[in-house]
Amino acid sequence: MTEQIILTTGIYDAIKDHLRRKQVTAAEEERLTAELRNAVQVRRRELPEDVVTVDTKVTIKDHTENQEKEYIFVGVKQAKPKKNKHSILSDIALATLGYKVGDVIEWPFADGERKIEILKVEPWSQN
């Protein structure tokens, strides 16, 4: 698993603001605060292609529920969960942002701890 998540400065700031507004559970807040403390901040063009960020299509295997699912992570205003476009501040995005293909993450979701693995990350655009 990645020791340090890699985030663009914009995503880092968005998560910090989200935490400040107490928009997450206590367990998520504790985990995110620790991750941000060690996070590497980069410019968008310096972000490796296999790292989960905004405007990416991500395939995730949920080992706890034994299922694979694809998510599209977009900006908060573009989110349309019914069309599989999830905000970068949604639970699943917060659990995976900054991680890369092959990482296995144990995350304290609101419905309980789950073990998820990032199988694939690819660019996504609305065009």
Interior CA angle at 8 toward 113 and 108, to 5°?
A: 5
115 in Cβ contact with 12 (< 8 Å): no
* Other beta carbons less than 10 A from residue 94's beta carbon: 22
Confidence grade of residue 2 (pLDDT, cut at 50, 70, 90): low
Model confidence at 3, pLDDT cuts 50, 70, 90, reads: confident
**In the predicted model, what is the mean pLDDT of the chain?**
94
Characterise 96 by phi-psi region: left (phi > 0), alpha (psi -120 to 50), beta (else). alpha
Residue 121, classed as helix, strand or coil, is strand
How does pLDDT run across 11-63, given as a tens digit for each residue? 999 999 999 999 899 999 999 999 999 999 999 999 999 999 999 999 999 99
